[in-house]
């Protein structure tokens, strides 16, 4: 099988040069399925405040909690950009990326990788679960939550806009339209 890797990133906005501060990847290949997610250290000087708030940066990211006066949460510290880039290249190597508008994530990930001396090595055809859902249901559907609801999948509010929550949802949608749908 061609390995697939579901990706989702939380970023500091939609602008050109946006930065990634959280990454989740779920890879499925001949060896099975595994998940990896982590925070990435963020230089906030060019960040969009509203963009950061979408993923609850100030509640969830260790640096965000610190600058907003909150106590630290248990968990690993953010990876530096270099370590994050290396892990992303390894984890996505040779895989077909799947996600909700994965071109958005792939663009940011590619920028992160190249800025740290690594190279995007995923397959060049990306698979968008929102588009797949539209095809499956033969109508325009909308974003990740709309797709989940249209397919009868539960998508708890508190995991939406976390990288791992969104990636897991995207994988559930993938399975619903690609696996169940083929039976």
CB of 138 to Mg ion, least distance (A): 26
Instruction: State the residue number with the nearest CB to Mg ion.
Output: 166
Q: Which listed range, 5-13, 81-89, 122-130, 172-180, lies at the site for Mg ion (CB under 5 A)?
A: 5-13
The CA distance from 108 to 16, in Å, is: 9
- As a whole number of angstroms, the distance between CA 181 and CA 76 comes to 38
> How far is 143 from 91, CA to CA, in rounded Å?
26
Least distance from C-beta 31 to Mg ion, angstroms? 26
For residue 88, the minimal CB distance to Mg ion (Å) is: 15
Q: 51 Cβ partners below 8 Å, 6+ apart?
A: 11, 12, 13, 14, 15, 18
| 130 or 166: CB nearest Mg ion | 166
What are the φ and ψ backbone dihedral angles of 34, each rounded to 5 degrees? Answer: -145, 155
Is residue 12 part of the contact set for Mg ion (CB under 5 A)?
no
Residues 120-179 that bind Mg ion (CB under 5 A): 166
Query: For residues 91 and 93, what is the distance between their CA atoms, to the nearest angstrom?
Result: 6
- 121 HSE (CA, 13 A, CB side): 13
Smallest distance from Mg ion to CB 182, Å: 27
Nearer to Mg ion, 15 or 139 (CB): 15
Least separation in angstroms between CB 166 and Mg ion? 4
Per CB under 5 A, the list member of 5, 7, 8, 134 interacting with Mg ion is 8
Nearest alpha carbon to residue 36 among 8, 73, 72: 8
56-85 binders of Mg ion (CB under 5 A): none
The binding site for Mg ion (CB under 5 A) comprises 8, 166
């Amino acid at each position: 099988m061609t390995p697939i890797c579901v990706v989702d990133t939380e970023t500091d906005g939609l602008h050109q040069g946006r930065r990634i501060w959280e990454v989740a990847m779920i890879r499925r290949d001949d060896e099975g399925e595994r998940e990896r997610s982590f925070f990435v250290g963020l230089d906030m000087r060019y960040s969009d405040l509203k963009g950061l708030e979408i993923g609850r940066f100030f509640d969830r990211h260790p640096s965000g909690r610190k600058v907003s006066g909150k106590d630290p949460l248990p968990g690993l510290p953010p990876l530096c950009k270099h370590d994050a880039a290396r892990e992303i290249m390894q984890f996505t190597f040779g895989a077909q990326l799947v996600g909700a508008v994965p071109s958005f994530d792939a663009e940011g990930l590619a920028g992160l990788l190249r800025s740290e001396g690594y190279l995007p090595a995923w397959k060049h055809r990306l698979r968008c679960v929102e588009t797949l859902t539209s095809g499956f249901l033969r109508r325009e559907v909308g974003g990740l939550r709309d797709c989940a609801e249209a397919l009868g999948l539960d998508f708890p509010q508190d995991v939406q806009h976390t990288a791992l929550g969104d990636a897991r949802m995207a994988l559930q949608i993938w399975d619903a339209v690609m696996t169940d749908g083929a039976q």
